[in-house]
Amino acid sequence: MYVYRPAGLPANPAVVVALHGCTQTAQIYADNSGLTKFADQQRFVLVLAETTAANNAGQCFNFFEPGDNRRGQGEAASIRQMVAHAGSAYGTDPARVYATGLSAGGAMTSVMLAAYPDVFAAGAVIAGIPYGCADTVSAAYTCMSPGVDRTPSAWAQSVRDANPGYNGPWPRVAVWHGDNDTTVVPRNAVELRDQWTALHGLDQAPDRTSTIGPNQTRREQYLAPGGAVAVEVDRVPSIAHGTPVDPGTGAQQCGAAGTANFIRSICSSHWVTAFFGLDGSAPDPGGLPAPGGLSATGATDTSVTLNWNAVAGAASYAVYRDGARVATPTAAPFTDTGLSAGTAHHYSVAARDAAGTEGVRSAEVAATTTGAAAKCWTASNYQHVQAGRATTAGGYAYAKGSNQNMGLYNTFVTHTLKESPAGYYVLADGMCS
């Protein structure tokens, strides 16, 4: 554990944990990432964890080792202890603990957010992978390239499984990835987005898009019901695998680009610490208030009808089912169709202005369609194939209908499949009883 403690540290400062990439050291990350500049300006404690060749021959954090990527074990527990030590030594604020890292350090950031969501308020994953993607070295390489595609709900379940019984609140997450990264392919940015938007109960359609910085980095933001940014994806054009930096003395410049995996582009540390709220900025709550009076006024086997009070200045409304935006009607009432019989859903509504900007979402209301519920089966991949609920190809099992990859075709991998409609199966691990 290395610590950068700026002069004039206030009482109860925030703490940012920085995790270096493979072959790097804590000193290299401190010298080149630009984080020390913002620690000085924003007066937070910077904790730089360092792994060694004794842990990993390539000096990579062991994000893929079950003994290191679980709560209370190995490297994950060690990093957690560093946070605790910073609290006792420097009086840091336990409500303002953040993590960021590159590559293996980015993947380890995912580990810390998943294993300790009660400790970390937010994190920024730079060129990393989702939590739960790999528990072996070979799986880690597959996750890095070509990447692994899972449903948002399956990714979210991996995080829930890391800390059973914990139901939130979940850390806010920023994802940074270079468009030309061939080491950890950009597909991982999509899967990370899917993982954390699903945990926050959001869909995968951005609520706001923009460009930032001198190189026009493309930003996608996914807003929580109160209007704060819960998940953010920053896609950096024309860079390969590394931490984006922008050497210079400008307010939005930082870092050094003379060392491998620090790439001249945009000062990611400026935007990351702003995402953490360390620059004093406040979340944008949106311009329109939440619609009142949301209620479910009717249901059939395949539909739910909703009503709500109109909001002055609203040009349309965004209707959310189970956290996913499903429609943008111009007014109430609205009927959500194409549902399965006997299924329960949660709805919320947000008003949208003429530009399509959403305001604050309403409180949720529950509704259940009539009729019989969908059927669910929990079994090994081998049993699913033998029962006709899945097919096999190339040694892998695929859910019939949805064709979702269920993993290796054997008796050891177990999944829950939901059938709805008849003959169409989807992965429903932890979501179907």
The residues that are catalytic are 103
Instruction: Give the span between the Cα atoms of 327 and 324, in whole angstroms.
Output: 9
Closest CA to 68 of 84, 85, 56: 56
What residues contact 324, with CB distance under 8 A and at least 6 apart? 202, 203, 204
- Torsion angle defined by CA atoms of residues 96, 86, 192 and 377, in that order, rounded to the nearest 10 degrees: -100
Q: Buried (b) or exposed (e) across 162-186, using 16+ Cβ within 10 A? A: beeeeeeebbbbbbbbbeebeebbb
Q: Which helix (H) or strand (E) holds 87?
A: helix 74-90
- For every residue of 277-290, which 3-state class applies, written as one string? CCCCCCCCCCCCCC
How far is CA 195 from its chain centroid? Answer: 5
With beta carbons less than 8 A apart as the criterion, state whether 130 and 153 touch: no
- Torsion angle defined by CA atoms of residues 216, 257, 32 and 247, in that order, rounded to the nearest 10 degrees: -60
Helix, strand or coil for residue 25?
coil
With beta carbons less than 8 A apart as the criterion, state whether 317 and 331 touch: yes
Q: Which helix (H) or strand (E) holds 272?
A: helix 268-275
